[in-house]
Chain A
Amino acid sequence: MSDTTTSANRLARYQTSAHIAGVVAAVLGIVSVLLPWSYAHEPLDDVAYYGAPSPLQYNYLGLMVIVLVMFGAPLALRRKGKFRDRIAWNTGARFGGYAMLATALVAVAGIGIEAGGLVNVDPGGWIAVAAGVLATAAGLVLLPSAAPRTGTFRTPAWGQILAIAVGLAAVLFAAAYALGLTDSGAFLFYLTFALGLALTLVRVGLFGWLAQCAADNKKVLVFAAFLVAFLFPFTQNGSDANMSIATQVLFFSATALGLNIVVGMVGLLDLGYIAFLGAGAFTSASLSGSLFAHINWHPPFIVTVLISGVVSSLLGLLIGTPTLRVSGDYLAIVTLAFGEIFRITMNNLDGSDGPNITNGSNGINNVPELGLFGFNFGDPHVMLGVTIGRFANYFWLMLIVLALIMVVFVNLNRSRIGRGWVAIREDELAAEAMGVNTFGLKLLAFAGGAFLAGVAGSVKAHYDVSVTPDQYVFLESAFLLAAVVLGGMGTVMGVLVGATVLKLLPEKLRFFSDYRLMLFGLLLVFMMRFRPEGIIADERRQLEFHAEDEELAEEVEGELIAYHDHYNPDAAKTEELR
């Protein structure tokens, strides 16, 4: 304790110098983008020219401006006031420094790897690293500010809505830009920059203010978020590559949300969830009228969707009925086995031994495009001067499916059934003693989750064109589970973020595809160590994982009682007997 106080006193004298050093570092960073970073042109989408920043470097320039403000504001705001005191300038500046250093290092490393050696790094790159080192050093000298209280700023309603609009527009733009980057190094650079920037803005308190704006205008936010997602295809100008990734993210998110009911809300560990997606896909493909399908009945898609959901939920009932009566570990083992049994069964239903339904490992190919109300999802069409391709059509359809699943999820969460589910997760025996039909509710969650997966699968069959058993392997179940855990169990937003991260990263970072399992493993380990409640935490979960203080308080209380009883045994007894 005294150590930190004295070192704080020592540091206190250098605060102004540190602020000035930080400003110098930011200016240095701005100068660096005017110089070439690399001798060769290929790395990072060409950062080799003089006098002006490359498109990628404009991001870095933006970061510099923000760091400049972080370090400069305390110098400019000498008088006390809400802007000086409620915003955590120093903490923001420190994280801005880290972000500068990290992006500069990624840039230099990227240039070194892609161009073959650090000799290709030009002075601009080294100046950026030096600026990063200086800013980090200056940030470390700064005394951390108190926690930001930006949520207490009073903002007029139009200001809040404007803030939400600007925030979402920034997200849309950033996502569109990130998807447009094809160079792995450039994507990694951008990712580092975006994470660093986000962290800086969180630390300085901007997000606290945005969260307050969002909380005050929840409906506006939800509507606007969907509007932004809806507008996304227009930013892609018919680029199929990116729309395909975005649509896959939506499929993954919708499935993960279904799994989130089972795992996040009820706490049932399902390791074979992908089989329900597969069951929906195979059902849908079999009824689709594909030449390779073996069922000669082609109901309209609306009917197929329902049948797929029902088939999946029947499988859920089949697995759930015997296993949900026993404790959780058995369920994990049985579902794990079920996932494998599903895949192997689909592989073997090839007619050599029993009926031919799936054509074995060849699967059902040439699933026709989806037709709904006379509209063929394979047809591109032009809207507001932008070509809306096949992938964009499916993107919009999945957006609607996702919205429906979200509505179901949120309403369930608030309902009596939802309360029963959470009670089962918290303490199954106590829930049973309260009159919660634990077995029935668990079965409902299991079958309901399977239904949602079946629905997603039935669309996916058309989107993928071919349905084969090897699309539905254990690894996919593991990824779904990782998305739920990473994002935050039991929350909608968290799972969307987790699913996006897990689906987007491997698509964009092709060069690390060999190591992707190892990296996800590491990511999960780190998450469990530093933020076990996930990226976006459920309020209840947060309590669960940070309960040390609470337990300590209980321990002390227990000891006090023991102490009291030990020294006043007679007092206690006589008082009661009186």
Chain B
Amino acid sequence: MLEVKDMVVAYGRVNAVKGITFTVEKGQVVTLLGTNGAGKSTTLRAISGLLKLVSGSITFEGQRLDGVPAHKIVERGIAQSPEGRRLFRRMSVEDNLKLGAYSRKDPAGVRSDLARVYDLFPVLGERRHEAAGLFSGGEQQMLAIGRAMMSQPKLLMLDEPSMGLSPIMTQTIMRTIRTLQSEGVTILLVEQNASAALSLADRGYVLEVGHIMFSDTGRALLGDDRVKRAYLGAS
């Protein structure tokens, strides 16, 4: 479904992603692992069109994505819940969600998806007219995921959804991802919490300073010694 080939992305003259290649199949959960500065968020930003490629290509459902402006990419069916959530803090929950559906032109469908998000996260429904900035970190993360879902994406990209959350909240978020997966949404997940991400993922790629070091199925990586040492904190 998504094919990234030899992608190089740079901030100014510094290459943050130095030629990576990976694929995401329809219905899969794929996770990118790596330490800070490995280039995970950069990869997501490049896919959603917020950053330009230096070289390489991105193909989504057989069509080239590189060079397409960001708002057109959302229309093609890729949504991103960006790093640090980046909610519109002064806007209400409902306005945030409506902004997630900005590219859609079917009011009835948007209404039913609003109901679906409130169903998935009841706390958002109960306080739908309150400003997003007033919610707790976990609730804000729910809103960020819900907002990304509102565009009815074929591919949902989540950047560190468990960042700054309590273990219980992390579990809730991971359960949500599993629910979305079972509904057939393809998910590209970037996580620091490797164990949680790998236990969900069909496939995982390990990035280090802009390169993909190795990849395998989620289960295999969970048992991999190198992964254990570097990301799971086991000896």
Residues of chain A whose beta carbon lies under 8 Å from any beta carbon of chain B: 416, 419-420, 422-423, 426-427, 429-438, 540-541, 543-544, 547, 550, 554, 557-558, 560-561, 564-565, 568, 571-573, 575-577
Closest to B73 in A: A435
B88 sits at the interface (CB 8 A): yes
Closest to A544 in B: B90
B102 sits at the interface (CB 8 A): yes
Closest to A549 in B: B134
User: Pick the contact of A541 from B48, B69, B90 — CB < 8 Å?
Assistant: B90
- Are the C-beta atoms of B164 and A558 separated by less than 8 Å? yes
| With A426-B89, A547-B133 as contacts: A576 and B164 at CB distance below 8 Å | no
- Are the C-beta atoms of A435 and B70 separated by less than 8 Å? yes
| With A437-B69, A544-B90, A571-B167 as contacts: A576 and B102 at CB distance below 8 Å | no
Interface residue SS majority, chain A: helix
- Are the C-beta atoms of A433 and B102 separated by less than 8 Å? no
| With A426-B89, A561-B164, A561-B166 as contacts: A576 and B171 at CB distance below 8 Å | yes
- Are the C-beta atoms of B86 and A430 separated by less than 8 Å? yes
Contacts of B100 in A (CB 8 A): 434
29 A-B contacts, Cβ less than 8 Å apart?
A419-B95, A419-B99, A423-B102, A426-B89, A427-B86, A429-B50, A429-B86, A430-B87, A430-B88, A431-B99, A432-B50, A432-B71, A433-B86, A434-B99, A434-B103, A434-B147, A436-B99, A438-B71, A544-B90, A557-B136, A557-B137, A558-B137, A561-B164, A564-B166, A565-B167, A571-B167, A575-B167, A576-B170, A577-B199
Contacts of B59 in A (CB 8 A): none
Q: In the docked arrangement, what's the CA distance between A432 and B199, Å?
A: 32
Q: In the docked arrangement, what's the CA distance between A252 and B9, Å?
A: 48
Q: How far is the CB of B10 from chain A (nearest CB, A)?
A: 18
Q: How far is the CB of B80 from chain A (nearest CB, A)?
A: 5
Contacts of B131 in A (CB 8 A): 540, 543
B151 sits at the interface (CB 8 A): yes
Contacts of A565 in B (CB 8 A): 167
- Are the C-beta atoms of B195 and A434 separated by less than 8 Å? no
Q: How far is the CB of A510 from chain B (nearest CB, A)?
A: 41
Q: In the docked arrangement, what's the CA distance between A354 and B74, Å?
A: 49
Closest to A565 in B: B167
B19 sits at the interface (CB 8 A): no
Contacts of A432 in B (CB 8 A): 50, 70-71
- Are the C-beta atoms of A435 and B102 separated by less than 8 Å? yes
**Per-position 1/0 for B80-116, Cβ under 8 A of A:** 1010001111110001001110110000000000000
- Are the C-beta atoms of A564 and B167 separated by less than 8 Å? yes
**Per-position 1/0 for B156-178, Cβ under 8 A of A:** 00000000111100110010000
| With A423-B99, A571-B167 as contacts: A430 and B82 at CB distance below 8 Å | yes
Contacts of B82 in A (CB 8 A): 429-430, 433
Closest to A551 in B: B133
- Are the C-beta atoms of A435 and B74 separated by less than 8 Å? yes
Q: How far is the CB of A523 from chain B (nearest CB, A)?
A: 26
- Are the C-beta atoms of A416 and B102 separated by less than 8 Å? yes
User: Pick the contact of B137 from A554, A575, A577 — CB < 8 Å?
Assistant: A554
Closest to B74 in A: A435
Residues 3-55 (chain B) with a chain A CB within 8 angstroms: 48, 50
Q: In the docked arrangement, what's the CA distance between A576 and B80, Å?
A: 24
- Are the C-beta atoms of B50 and A543 separated by less than 8 Å? no
